[in-house]
Structure formats: C-alpha cells, structure tokens
Amino acid sequence: MYTKPEKSASSVKSVSLTTFAKMKAAGEKIACLTAYDASFAALLDGAGVDLLLVGDSLGMVVQGRDTTVPVTLDDMVYHSQAVERGISRAFLVVDMPFMSYSTPTHALASATRLMQEGGAKMVKLEGGVQQAEVVAYLTERGIPVCAHIGLQPQLVHKLGGYKVQGKDDAAAQRMRSDARALEAAGADMILLECVPDSLAGDIAKAAGVPVIGIGAGPAVDGQILVTYDMFDLTPGRKPKFSRNFLTGRDSMADAARAYVAAVRDGSFPGAEQSVGD
Ligand code: KIV
C-alpha cells in the first residue's frame, strides 16, 4: 500500500508570468526550488513555493552522475510529467538538457516536447548572447524562456570546474550585455548562478523581467536552490550559497515554509551564503 501525493486545494490561483511581473514591480521576492517527482512537488507547492524547476541537476542529485551533461530530453520529460502531477499553484519550469537546443529548430522541437508531454509552462536554457537567436525563435512562437547565465553547469568541461563568474570587470561587462541581449531577444526571466552580489543586483535592477539568483546574493528578484541541498539530503560537499533549512525543524514541509518565508523577508541569502563581491 502506498500513498499518492495529495495536491493542495484546487481553488488556489495558479502562478503565471503576470504574477511574477507584479511581484517584481512590488518588490516582492519570488521563492523558487527544484523538484523531480510528484511527492516533493506537492510538498513544496503546498508550502507556498512560487516556481518549481525540473532542473537538469537531477542528473547529479537523482541519477548520481558527475555532471548534468549526460541528462537526456527523455529524462526531462519523464521527471516533468511526475512533477506536474504534484502541482496545484506553482509555475512549472523545465530545463532544456545539454545539446537539446543546438539550433533554433532543434530547440523548438525540444521545447515543444517539454511543454506538450512534460507540462512545462516555461523552458530554461543556458547561455549568453550566443543563445539570443534561439531565445528569439522560441519566444516569437509563444514559448516562455528563462535564460540561465553566470555559471552554466552544462559548460563544466569547458570551464574546468564550477567557479564564480563575472569576477573581473571585463567578465562583468560581458554578463551585463548578455542579460540585455537575452531580454531584448524575448527572454521572460533570467537566472543568475554564482555571480558576485553587486553585479547580480545591477543586472536585476536594469532588467525589465524577473531575475532569479542562486549564489547571486540578496539584491535580485527571487531565489532558487536545489531542493536536495536545502534539505541537506545529498551526501558530500555543500555549495557555500546553500542553507540547510531542516536544521532545528522536524518536517520537510516546515523547512520548505521557512525557506519561502526567508526568501520573502530577505533573510535568505545572508552574508554567509555570499560567493563574493
Ligand atoms: O538544474 C538546476 O537545478 C539549476 C539550478 C541553477 C537551480 O539550473
């Protein structure tokens, strides 16, 4: 006998891109987390998380791989379908895995599967100005896109590891212009990973779309963490920018509510989670 995850009340209003635009305008922080299955999705949705990302981080935290590179489109569709079944309110974003968006038409075919089969409301892809053509091709066809810049884990073999990005002036300038180019191409959201706090704050201030940070300090429009890090589930070294919200709490639901509250009131991330300035 097993328990099917119970969704929260169906009368709750679903989060949409309009919700995020209003939150950014009002200075209300957006609370986001990753999810890979229906039970976690239902738990996090019930705790008030606004956006759930089926991240290709599942390659590492669920499949136990060394990087996100081997994750396939079929993997993403499978996990997205499971997460979608657990959601009542949250906005579902799904990662485009490595090389599933190598050309505009390839990206369109991949994004179509993630939306039609996986139930995604937005797709996320990694890359700066060089992805502007792909972003324009998708958004002109009505596919909402989140552009992921800063540390791009799919480039780990090119970068030689997971490192803070945008540390010197030239790299910071490139990141600012990447963000501008992606927004001009139609990106509906920008995600910044492992970026100095003040650079991230500048990019969020200049952007007309919500900017979500992971390891990017408090001055952005919202925060995201890999849920397994937030619960300290995965054995091994923890990213500096994460916090274990289960500490001192006796349930995952409580920990998730505490995360949402801390993002909303600006107490997460704190100085100890900063990757630098
Ligand atoms: O795959 C993932 O989980 C991500 C993180 C940055 C949230 O992209």
Ligand 1 atom nearest the C-alpha of 55 is: 1
Token pair for 112: 């179509």
Other Cβ atoms within 10 Å of 87 Cβ, number: 23
Distance 1 CA to ligand 1 centre (A): 33
Distance CA 20, CA 181 (A): 21
Q: Give 114-165 pLDDT, tens digit per residue.
A: 999 999 999 999 999 999 999 999 999 999 999 999 999 999 999 888 999 9
DSSP-derived pairing of the beta strands 30-34 and 51-54: parallel
The predicted pLDDT at position 6 comes to 79
Query: Does ligand 1 lie within 6 Å of residue 214's CB atom?
Result: yes
Our answer on whether the CB atom of 221 is closer than 6 Å to any ligand 1 atom is no
Q: Which domains does the chain have, with CATH numbers?
A: 17-273 (3.20.20.60)
Q: Two tokens at 75?
A: 């993997």
Reported as a single tens digit per residue, the pLDDT across 188-221 is 999 999 999 999 999 999 999 999 999 999 999 9
Q: Which atom of ligand 1 is nearest to the CA of 214?
A: 6
Pocket-testing residue among 30, 36, 57, ligand 1, by greatest number of atoms within 8 A of Cβ: 57
Q: How confident is the model at residue 97 (pLDDT cuts 50, 70, 90)?
A: very high
Q: To test the ligand 1 pocket, which listed residue (56, 65, 155, 227) has its Cβ within 8 A of the most ligand atoms?
A: 56
- Helix 252-265 to helix 38-46 angle, to the nearest 10 degrees? 50
CB burial string 64-85: b at 16+ within 10 A, e below: eeebbbebebebbbbbbebbbb
Q: Burial of 271 by CB count in 10 Å (0-12 exposed, 13-18 middle, 19+ buried)?
A: exposed
Give the residue-averaged pLDDT of 75-100.
Answer: 98
**Which residues are the active-site residues?**
193
Is 150 touching ligand 1 by the criterion CB < 6 Å? no
Q: Is the pLDDT of residue 10 over 80?
A: no
In this prediction the pTM is 0.97
Q: Please give the pLDDT value at position 276.
A: 82
